Structure 1
Amino acid sequence: MTDAIRFYSTADEFGEFSNFAGYPIQLKGKSWPTSEHYFQAQKFAGEPDEDEVRKANSPMLAARMGRDRKRPLRRDWESVKVAVMREAVLAKFTQHADLRELLLSTGDAKIIEHTTNDDYWGDGGGSGKNKLGQILMEVREQLRKEPA
């Protein structure tokens, strides 16, 4: 087993780890086409924008809508965004048995969202925070302790 797993594009190996991967999740009494839709929509929780983002035709469009600063970002976003991402990732990997198995199959490998586009959620090409990778490893640890 490799000591590091790098993912980014949904078309690549471990592309299922991407928030753009087509795995619907159920959260807050609604169905979300991808974890990206959920994450981006939560920037506008309780606002009409939330449902518009949920209904976006693609995760890329949901991401664009979420980054559009013409939409009013919720005040506490910076303090809750990591918890929101954890919630989305946990839902994805507990609601899809095949994804759960894939994540558990990674053993103790470090999981890295490898991209120069993002040095917060990804590794920024090498020196970023890799928050999404960290959350995936936390969720993997949690799944090990919980029966399927």
Structure 2
Amino acid sequence: MPDDIYFYERTKGRTDGRCRFLSNFYKAMMIIDNKEYATVEHYFQSMKHAGTELEEKIKLASTPAKSKKLAWTRELPPDWPEMKEGVMLRAMRAKFSQHSKLADRLLATGNACLHEDSPTDMYWGVKGLDRSGKLLMMVRGELLEETSRKDYK
């Protein structure tokens, strides 16, 4: 495995498509709080408007990009900056805990640094804080620990 792995919702530049499954736009139906979400992005965007009529519209959007666009039609809650990482981490954990093949693929990245190769996102992407990649590496570490515990028993 390479030292650095770049992923994004579409293949471009440094991303070759093999690690597209790491993207929040990758279709991997998951259930969180008894609700189905098509992607991590659907969950993340809908939580920006939890408890409002917009939450359901975002959840049911036909694509992750449409869910994101819908979420930006209203002002974000004032506490969103403090909440967003926890929301994203919860969604990523759900994706990989509910899809064992995806979990295996994440584990197969070994110790490589994971980077979301977004050309514009200064928070989640590699050109900024790269929080998406860092959270995925955290989830990978948790999965590895869980696997080690199972193997030890």
TM value normalised by structure 2: 0.89
Percent same amino acid at aligned positions? 37
Please tell me whether residue 91 in structure 1 is matched to residue 57 in structure 2. Answer: no
2:91 match: secondary structure = helix
Partner of 2:14: none
Return the match for 1:75 from 52, 64, 78: 78
Mark the runs of 5 or more structure 2 residues left unpaired by the alignment: 12-16
| Contact 1:5–1:112 (CA under 8 A) maintained in structure 2 | yes
Question: What does residue 140 of structure 1 align with?
Answer: 140
Alignment deviations for residues 101-145 of structure 1 (CA, whole Å, 9 cap, x no partner): 000001100000012121210112xxx110000000000000011
- Structure 2 counterpart SS, 1:146: helix
Per-residue CA deviations over 1:11-42 (Å, capped at 9, x if unaligned) read 51200011111101100110011110000000
CA distance in 2, matches of 1:74, 1:120: 18
The structure 2 residue matched to 1:38, chosen from 43, 58, 62, is 43
For the residues of structure 1 that align with 2:59 and 2:9, how far apart are their CA atoms? 21
Confirm whether residue 61 of structure 1 aligns to residue 61 of structure 2. no
- 54, 57, 62: which one aligns with 1:52: 57
Offset of residue 10 of structure 1: 4.4
- Structure 1 residue ranges (4+ consecutive) displaced by more than 3 angstroms after TM superposition: none
Give the total of aligned pairs. Answer: 143
TM-score under structure 1 normalisation? 0.92
* Contact 2:125–2:131 under 8 Å retained in 1: yes
